[in-house]
Amino acid sequence: MSTPDLNLLITLDVLLREGSVARAAKCLRLSPSAMSRALARLRETTGDPLLVRAGRGLVPTPRALALRERVGQLVQEAEAVLRPAEILDPGQLRRTFTLRNTDGFVETFAAALLARIAEEAPGVRLRFVQKADKDSTPLREGRVDLETGVVDDSTDPTLHSRLLFQDQWIGVVREGHPLSKGKISAKRFASGQHILISRRGRSSGPVDEALLAVGLTRDIVTSFGGFSAALTLVRESDLIATVPNRHTGKLRTGLHSFTLPFDMPPINVSMLWHPRMDADPAHRWLRDCLRQVCA
């Protein structure tokens, strides 16, 4: 069995990324004819046409689509192996990182994180985007560098994670609400009208499971996909929201918060990243900054 030409991996990575023989040739500083010959070799080696003509352009075959992410990762790992180890100087770093978070996290932690970044690495910029679901595609594709959330059975098992902090559920009402005065029992809590917060659009959550364990149910009047909207409604009504304590600290200013009168499991908030970023010195530095800010 002949040894495959591993240089073809680089060629394949660029071809699949560019979707054009001419653009790939320009990226690799080859002539169009040399790139066409390389594509012919790739087709022969893989037994698949990889790119086929559609109108005036080329489109990838199903095999090419299946290979694209894997080939890109192999090339990045190979480049990392051959690259000299870096000694990071954050003060010289010029880079923009994208962080994906649920609402409340930015309001609570972004100011301290940005202050730390500005002190250590003034050339670094942070871009925060909303985390609407647990889809790991943005991390895999490199559109997001780091995200925060709860690791559970639906989390992509290929992602790396590290615990940032442990949070607790609390109840929140407006000032002057009946629950802002007197002792709160589980029965008194359940008898009110509640907001369910679920990004997945579920009809119940961990609060309902905890209430069922003590023989109670609650009246869920409405539901929201995030904490900010729910707490805004709490300010204007007699509805009750149940939210993570630390995660929503800044969002609850001017509201009355109270300890829940029944047991709830803690919330383990972690940071998550794709394995290809694990050894990147700048990414390691960013993870350390975030961990210390949240510690």
Considering only CA atoms, give the Rg of the chain: 25
pLDDT digits (tens, 9 = 90+) for 126-143: 999 998 888 889 998 899
Residue 1 has pLDDT above 60, yes or no: no
* Distance from the Cα of residue 118 to its chain's centroid: 23
Instruction: Give pTM, 2 decimals.
Output: 0.67
More confident call, 234 vs 23 = 234
Among the listed residues 257, 251, 245, 246, the one whose alpha carbon sits nearest the alpha carbon of residue 179: 257
Instruction: State how far the Cα of 171 lies from the Cα of 189, in Å rounded to an integer.
Output: 9
Report the percentage of the chain scoring pLDDT > 90: 57
Domains and CATH numbers, the chain: 7-82 (1.10.10.10), 90-167+269-294 (3.40.190.10), 169-265 (3.40.190.10)
| 8 A C-beta contact, residue 112 and residue 293 | yes
pLDDT digits (tens, 9 = 90+) for 254-286: 999 999 999 999 999 999 999 999 989 999 999
Indicate the helix (H) or strand (E) that contains 39: helix 32-46
Average pLDDT over all residues of the chain: 90
Instruction: State how far the Cα of 104 lies from the Cα of 251, in Å rounded to an integer.
Output: 6
| 8 A C-beta contact, residue 174 and residue 287 | no
> What SS3 state is found at 219?
strand
pLDDT digits (tens, 9 = 90+) for 44-84: 888 888 888 887 778 888 888 888 888 888 888 877 777 66
Instruction: State how far the Cα of 140 lies from the Cα of 15, in Å rounded to an integer.
Output: 19
Residue 7 has pLDDT above 70, yes or no: yes
* Distance from the Cα of residue 274 to its chain's centroid: 10
By CB atoms closer than 10 A (0-12, 13-18, 19+), residue 78 is: middle
* Position 294, amino acid: C
Instruction: State how far the Cα of 57 lies from the Cα of 150, in Å rounded to an integer.
Output: 43
Instruction: State how far the Cα of 273 lies from the Cα of 76, in Å rounded to an integer.
Output: 16
